[in-house]
Amino acid sequence: MVARRTSDSSGPSGAAGDVLEGTPYRALRGLGRGGMGEVVEAEHRALRKRVVVKLVRRALAHDPRFADRLQVEARALAAVSSPHVVAVLDLGQTPSGRPYFVMERLEGWTLGEELQRRGPLPVAEAIDLVRQVLAGLAAAHRAGVIHRDVKLDNVFLCAPGAAAPGDTRVAKVLDFGVAKVLDGALAGAAPGAPPAVDGPAYPTEAGLLVGTPRTASPEQAQCQPVDARADVYAVGLLMYTLVVGHGPFAHVEDALGVLRAHVLEAPALPSRYAAQPIPAALDRAVLKALAKRPEERFQSAEAFAAELGRIAGELAEGGGSWRAGRAPEAEAGWGPQSRAWFEAVGEGTSGVRAGGGVAGVAVEAGEAPVDAWLFAGLTLASTAVFSAIAALVLRGMGVW
């Protein structure tokens, strides 16, 4: 899976060197460690083929809940057929009782590392990568698997030429460790047929947050049941972050505040904070993906990908002459109060509450709200003053 991560454990001669003793694989170096498991780079002893192995942590190996979760992850990945999801090659257990599964070894880095290195990506490039992520998720959804933790660090960007010929870069979705397996009906199986993937023997307890607070959907934040549209929301956050450089709620620091923002706070348009021009259509698509109510989002990963494909087509045909979704002052040099006014009277994406008129504008922290009557009064007063000055000048010149 990952070939360039630094090790957080000892080398082949230490602890990481013998975690796979008694299996067909030989551990080479540690790649990472999480709350449930650890990941090592390994080599098949007979074939000399490099792979990546994920094992349940030694201290948790004999807890059936963790063994069950790892097996569900492996089977979920194996059930998904897509070049945009990391492939599973084997599933087993060490002689000491540690369950493990084997994945393809990838050359490259995560999308989070790419963003950290380069900053916001050009719109066309970001759309291409996000469409690849959506293709992988769509394949998972067809198999009845909901990822529930789509984020920058769970998307791997293969080095040019490593997964496709030429300079093509392939994005692959990683880490289905907290994936939800839907029942056979929701997975699209025929009535009475077994589901594409067996569900966990130890399901997640009700009322527990599953996923990462920063990228959780509103329904995850409220510990409610989720479906494929939770992943659509997470990809909306991914798209926003790639073109802006940060997410819509980057100003919120604590976990509880972030969860509250997912549920209650309307995200600003990406074009409001992006340093590059953002097409108005992309603004609308991202906000649709980030709708608080699942029924108001794109109803599938395929639908979101199709809209992004349409936007990409317009970009290619327009050669950069597309209409950017910029706030008015970006072109006219107007200040923040004028911006707030135009947002108040603009389209429904401006943050105006239903039935609230201009007075109901949701204004972000640190930005002064604009009172409609005050604005109108100031406009009339300035007009009257200008007219009086003009009359005096004209009278002095003998014109009036």
Report which listed range, 164-178, 296-310, 371-385, is most confident: 296-310
Distances (CA, A) of 112 to 17, 53, 153, 174, 224: 29, 22, 5, 13, 28
Q: Output the pLDDT for position 169.
A: 87
Distances (CA, A) of 130 to 133, 239, 358: 5, 7, 35
Residue 5 has pLDDT above 60, yes or no: no
| Residues with catalytic roles | 149
Which token pair is 109? 């880095």
pLDDT digits (tens, 9 = 90+) for 95-152: 989 999 999 999 999 999 999 999 999 999 999 999 999 999 999 999 999 999 999 9
* Length reported for the chain: 400
Q: Output the pLDDT for position 66.
A: 85
Contacts 24+ apart (CB under 8 A), 350-353: 351/266, 351/268
β-pair partners for 56 = 37
pLDDT digits (tens, 9 = 90+) for 202-230: 444 444 557 788 889 999 999 898 999 99
Which token pair is 41? 């780079």
Q: SS3 breakdown of the chain: % helix, strand, coil, rounded to 5?
A: 40, 15, 45
Q: Output the pLDDT for position 34.
A: 77
pTM reported for the whole predicted model: 0.71
For every residue of 169-207, DSSP letters joined together read: --EEE---TT-EE--TTTTTPPTTSPPSSPPPSSPPPTT
Mean pLDDT to the nearest integer, 327-332: 35
Range from 29-33, 78-82, 320-324 carrying the lowest mean pLDDT: 320-324
Which token pair is 49? 């083929």
**H or E element: which one contains 102?**
strand 99-104
Distance CA 111, CA 70 (A): 24
Distance CA 294, CA 231 (A): 10
pLDDT digits (tens, 9 = 90+) for 345-383: 344 333 332 333 322 323 233 333 444 444 445 555 555
Distance CA 194, CA 160 (A): 39
DSSP state of 87: P
| 54 known member of a binding site | yes
Residue type, 265: E
Alpha helices per DSSP H over the chain: 64-79, 111-118, 123-142, 218-221, 228-244, 255-264, 270-273, 280-289, 301-318, 329-332, 336-344, 372-396
Please list, in sequence order, all residues whose beta carbon lies within 8 angstroms of the beta carbon of residue 16, skipping any fewer than 6 positions away: 7, 9, 10, 27, 28, 29, 30, 40
Please list, in sequence order, all residues whose beta carbon lies within 8 angstroms of the beta carbon of residue 115, skipping any fewer than 6 positions away: 121, 152, 241, 242, 245
CB 41 within 8 A of CB 60: no
In the β-sheet with 155-158, what is the strand arrangement from edge to edge?
108-110, 155-158, 171-173
Reported as half-sphere exposure (CB side, CA atoms, 13 A), residue 369 has a value of 13
End-to-end CA distance of the chain: 83
CB 111 within 8 A of CB 2: no
CA dihedral 23, 29, 34, 36 (to 10 degrees): 10
Please list, in sequence order, all residues whose beta carbon lies within 8 angstroms of the beta carbon of residue 384, skipping any fewer than 6 positions away: none
